[in-house]
Amino acid sequence: MIETIDERRVLVRALDCRVYETGEPLTRREIAPLNILLFLAVVVIWGLTWFAIHLQVGGTPVDVAVFWRFALAVLLLGAGLIVMGKIRRPPGAAVPWLAIMGACLFSCNFLAIYRSETYLASGMVSVVFSMATILNTFNQWVFFRQRPDARVLCGGLLGVSGVALMLGGDIDGGTRTILGIGLALLGTTLFSLGNMVTRHLKRFDLDLLNTVFYAMTCGSLFMALGVLIDGHSFVPPLNAHWIGGLLYLSIFGTIGGFLFYLALAQRIGADKAAYTTILSPIIALAVSMVFEKAEWSLLMLGGLVLILLGNVLAFVRKKPVTQPLEVEQG
C-alpha cells in the first residue's frame, strides 16, 4: 500500500517525482498540466496500438507488416535526428549489441506479438504484454544482480496465475488460445530481454535516441531479410484499414509515443512514467470489446484482472527504487 498522504495527491501519485524520492512537498511544476497531458497521451497512444495491429493482421504476411512499421519509423526518426543535427555514428563495439537489441525489440518480438493477434483479441494480448514490466525486474536480477523485493515477487506470482486462468478459461478456444498466449509471452520475453540489452548499451557513448534509431534500423533489415527468404512481396495492401494502421503504428505508436514517454520520464522519473504500462491495457481492452466484439469468460476476466493487479503490486513500493529508463511501447 502507498504511504498515507493527502487524498488530493492520490490522482497525481504517478505524476509526482520529488515527493516520492525525498518526501518534500509537491510543487506546481511537478503536477503541471503538461505532465498530466504527457501521461494521458502515452496511455491513450499505446492503448490504441493494439487495435492498430489488429487492423493489419490478415491483410498481409506478418513479416511484411512488421517491416513496414519499423522501416517507416526509421525514416521518420532518422530524418528528425538529421534535421536537429543530433545523428551520431555508433561505436564499432556497440554494433553487435545494437543488432541484438533490434532483433529483440523491433523485429522478432513483434513477429510473435502480431501472430498472437491472429489467435487472440488485441486487448488480451496487450494485458499479457504488460507483464514485460515484471519480466524486466526479474531479468535485472538475472543479468545485473538487482534483486527484486517481495512485492515484485508477489506481483509476478499474480501475473503467472492470471495467465493460467486465461488458459483455463477459454475451453472453446483450445489450441488457438494456447498458441496465442504462448506467442504473446514469447514476444513479451524477447521485448524484456531487449530492454536488458538497452541497459548494457549505456556503457557506450551513444544517446538513447540514436541507440533506438540504429537498433530499429537493424530490426528493419532483419525483417527485410525475412520477407525475402519467405518469398513474400514487399508491396503493402492499399486499403484504408491497413494503411491507417501502419501510419498510426509508425508515427504515433512508435515515434510519438516513445518521444512522449521519454519527455514524461525526464520530468517525473522512469519509475512513475512506467505506470503508463498498467493503464494502457485498460484502453486496449475497452477498444477490443467495442470494435472486435471480444467476449471473455469469467475465468478469463479473472486472469486479466490478476495480471493487472500483479503489475500494480510490482510498481507500488513503500521505498524509492531507482528504475533505469527503458524502452516501453506496444
Give residue limits of the domains in the chain: 7-315
pLDDT tens-digit series, residues 95-121 = 999 999 999 999 999 999 999 999 988
Backbone phi, then psi, for 100, in 5-degree steps? -65, -45
CA–chain centroid gap for 243, Å, is 22
Q: CB–CB of 51/284 below 8 Å?
A: yes
pLDDT tens-digit series, residues 212-229 = 999 999 999 999 999 999
Cβ burial 192-203 (10 Å sphere, 16+ → b, else e): bbbbbbbbebee
pLDDT tens-digit series, residues 251-301 = 999 998 888 887 887 777 666 777 787 788 888 888 988 888 877 778 878
pLDDT bracket for residue 27 (50, 70, 90): low
Cβ burial 269-296 (10 Å sphere, 16+ → b, else e): bbbbbbbbbbbbbbbbbebbeeebebeb
pLDDT tens-digit series, residues 139-193 = 888 888 888 777 777 887 888 788 777 766 655 557 888 899 899 999 999 998 9
> What is the model's pLDDT at position 280?
86
How many Å apart are CA 252 and CA 62, to the nearest integer? 20
Record the cell numbers describing residue 170, joined without a space.
477459454
